[in-house]
Structure 1
Amino acid sequence: MALVMFLRVAVTFSVLFATYVNGAASDGTSLPPGACYWRQGSLVNRTPTGPVEPIEDCRFVVRDLEFLDILGPSPKVVELVKTNAHEGAVWYPDNNEFYFSSVRLEGPNGVVRTDLKKVNLRTRVVTTLSAPLDDVPNGMVLDNDGNLLVCQQGSRTKGGFIQRINLKTMEKTVVADNWFGVPFNSPNDAVVKRDGTIWFTDPSYGSVQGFRDAPNVKNQIYKISTSGVVDAVADGFTQPNGLAFSHDEKRLYVADSGFALGLQGQFDIARPHSVTVFDVGTDGLLTNRRLFASVAVYDGSGPGLGIPDGIKVDTAERVYIGTVDGVQVFSHSGKPLGLIRQPGVPNMGFAGKRLNTLYMLNDTTISFTKLKVRAAGLAYASSRPW
């Protein structure tokens, strides 16, 4: 989600003494340490919705037994480093570095500033790069040549743009900054297909949060061709946010975080909190738009429903969505599988030689968990000779 006020929810649970999967008693399958089942509650019967015993140490909430195939026998959530980490979540395998953007407020008027940073995954040392603060970097992705693509949201004096950073020389170039002469609103998150095209979302959070003027165009999804031509490929979103292609690149998932108005504590129940999926044609056009998942909070609490933000996928076509109670995992058909509990996760990214370690950002820490999966959509990392 663009900048400052990604909803934080303090998750609390009541102790129950039964184990359920999708509202039904479990079949006796043993759970790994740190995991618990989820149950459907009842408002009429005053039965809480959410995790059941053991609750206190539960970091992995199982809604479907397929989730156990993802977790493995001994899953853990480990804190890598305490730091202001909000968006980005990109692994650069050449130096074993993890790139991210942070958010901070300055001055009596709460001026939004962001930093572009990296952390060395071996030494855990955090370094701030020299990117201009007033460009407000947000989401990032590596292109197929290992360059860092950064969604720069812009400022009052500069429109938003997609920036390419050569991580070997730190040379910076502008990939695209307009659609038919109209400046972008606030580029938020980006992905790269195997053919080299760049796809990104462009919500209006910069205007909402006061560091950009009112937008001149609808909040759309754009595609940048390998020759630099920009085309709008989808609209009809309130605030398009995270996006990801399926492993076979035949589907595109797009989060809409419009439920969160972009300011502290302000929400609109009539706005979306969902993920849409499109079919991707061989001509690169999007068709057959449909709901993939309407995202809620696993314990049924909080000031509102879930706010889907960053999206990642694995090679088994499962979908990982960052939201207020952690990372929710869905099957390729949209079936909820489970939750990695980590309050307030705007984005996350996979890293490691096996692409099986999921790093989660939540504005105060970067934490990780090793899973029995392999991430998809990381062409550069997948091509490295290990």
Structure 2
Amino acid sequence: MQATHSILVETDAHEGLVYVPSQKRLYFTSVPDLEIENPQIAIRYYDFITGEVVTWKHRSNMANSMWLSNDGEHLLVAEQGKGATPGAISRRSLSGGQREVLVDAYKGKPFNSPNKVVQSPSGWIYFTDPDYGYNQGFKPEPMLTPAVYAFDPSTKKLIRLSAEYMMPHGLAISPIGNQIYIGDTAAIDGKNPYNPKKTKDIYVSALPSPEKLEEKQWVLSVPVGIPDGFIVTGPKNDLWVAAGDGLRHYRENGSLVNLYPVPGGVYSVATDGKAIYSSSNTAIWKTIPRGEEGG
């Protein structure tokens, strides 16, 4: 089978791609206009039944990434916050849209600007908290070091897993939950010009238990831009990475399988189990890998 790679729909999809099979919808967060005084980010979805893009929430506390909860009934949302309004990890009901804040501070200090969020099979929620919001001018000066956190929604236990990354950003969990992949993307800090000499890498660490992170191992570095959003799929932990030149497919060892080019690059990645979807700020792209590619 030959691969296909084309625009699914033209829309302002920036981050947060997540497919909800029960609704046949692909949710995403919109492109923020950071040049205006009161920037907002909407949550929208593409309806595979009608072919329409619908705005679900006009305001989202500057939501960035999203994840389908293990029960399939909620979206977990990494909210960056804005001004004095703190960032948070929230849970929104897919049936009614009701919002519940799960966690918004560490040891009494507000998060910087939560960026990516995932939930492991264990039920624990993992998220990154870089300082992009401050660097981009819509959050106050950080009170916390950029870090990766783990949160147990059943007990409300919050653990700072790691503060060793310069700019913890992209995040993915292996399908069986025993490994966590973390992007470090100081090459783009949200304030200064792109610096290819700084980190634009993905690392992996074993998770022997939900709240314990073992030593990180380098996996890959992208040649263009940064590894923004990424997902891990299949029994061999293939990585699908949003980068500055398009959608990149890697094996678990960091070897490149294929590049699906997108002008200007892509920012977020999701899958429905067959196709891979990526967002480019002006469109959502649909990629069906060739049969022998796997993943």
Q: Deviations over 1:288-334 (max 9, x none)?
A: 2121112213xxxxxxxx31111111113111111011111111122
Change beyond 3 A, Cα 1:270–1:96: same
* Structure 1 contact 243–310 (Cα < 8 Å) conserved: yes
The separation in 2 between residues aligned to 1:262 and 1:171, in whole angstroms, is 31
Shift, 1:249, TM fit: 2.1
Residue 142 of structure 1 corresponds to which residue in structure 2?
68
Q: Structure 2: how far apart are the matches of 1:141 and 1:317?
A: 18
Match of 1:259 in 2: 187
Give the match's secondary structure for 1:113: coil
Contact 1:356 1:374 in 2 (8 A): no
Q: Structure 1 residues 319 and 221 mapped into 2: Cα distance closer, same or farther (>3 Å)? A: same
Q: Within 1, Cα distance between the matches of 2:262 and 2:142? A: 33
1:349 aligned onto 2:270: yes
Please, which runs of 5 or more residues in structure 2 have no aligned partner?
none
Cα shift at 1:143 = 0.8
Change beyond 3 A, Cα 1:106–1:339: closer
CA apart distance, 1:106: 6.5
Aligned to 1:322: 242
Letter in 2 for 1:211: F
Q: Match of 1:88? A: 16
The one-letter code matched in structure 2 to 1:294 is S
Q: Is the 8 A contact 1:144 1:192 kept in 2?
A: yes
2:226 corresponds to 1:307: yes
Contact 2:41/2:58 (CA < 8 Å) preserved in 1? no
**Cα distance 1:158–1:282, how it changes in 2: closer, same or farther (>3 A)?**
same
> Which of 275, 284, 288 lines up with 1:366 in the alignment?
284
Contact 2:269 2:278 in 1 (8 A): yes
Query: Does the 8 Å CA contact 2:112/2:130 hold for their aligned counterparts?
Result: yes
For the residues of structure 1 that align with 2:38 and 2:196, how far apart are their CA atoms? 28
CA deviation after TM superposition for structure 1 residue 350, in Å: 0.2
Q: Please give the secondary structure, in 2, of the residue aligned with 1:337.
A: strand
Number of the residue aligned with 1:25: none
8 A contact 2:159–2:211 mirrored in 1: no
Native 8 Å contact 1:358 1:368 kept in 2: yes
Indicate which of 126, 150, 154 corresponds to 2:53.
126
Taking a change above 3 Å as real, the CA distance of residues 292 and 137 of structure 1, as seen in their structure-2 partners, is: same
Q: Indicate conservation of the 8 Å contact 2:40/2:59, yes or no.
A: no
Q: Distance in 2 between the 1:216 and 1:374 partners?
A: 44
**Structure with greater proportional strand content:** 2
CA contact (8 A) 1:80 1:124 kept: no
When the two structures are aligned, how many residues end up with a matched partner?
289
Q: Matches of 1:331 and 1:74 in 2, distance apart?
A: 19
1:64-83 aligned at under 5 Å gives the runs 73-83=1-11
Q: Which residue of 1 aligns with 2:217?
A: 290
| Structure 1 residue 156 corresponds to structure 2 residue 77 | no
State whether structure 2 residue 160 is matched by structure 1 residue 239.
no
Establish whether residue 331 from structure 1 lines up as the match of residue 278 from structure 2. Answer: no
SS in 1 for 2:42: strand
Is 1:209 the counterpart of 2:117? The answer is no
- In structure 1, what is the Cα distance between the partners aligned to 2:26 and 2:294? 17
- Contact kept in structure 2, 1:189 and 1:243, CA below 8 Å: yes
Q: 1:260 to 1:110 in 2, by over 3 A?
A: farther
SS of the equivalent of 2:228 reads coil
Q: Which residue of 2 aligns with 1:224?
A: 151
Q: List alignment gaps of at least 5 residues for structure 1.
A: 1-72, 298-305, 376-386
Structure 1 residue 114 displacement after superposition? 1.1
Q: Is the 8 A contact 1:314 1:374 kept in 2?
A: no
Contact kept in structure 1, 2:122 and 2:177, CA below 8 Å = no
> How much does 1:80 deviate?
1.5
Q: For the residues of structure 1 that align with 2:260 and 2:27, how far apart are their CA atoms?
A: 22
SS of the equivalent of 2:51 reads coil
Q: Could you say if the C-alpha distance between residues 98 and 220 of structure 1 is closer, same or farther in structure 2, counting changes exceeding 3 Å?
A: same
Is the radius of gyration larger for structure 1 or structure 2?
A: 1
Alignment deviations for residues 65-100 of structure 1 (CA, whole Å, 9 cap, x no partner): xxxxxxxx2211121111100001101111101110
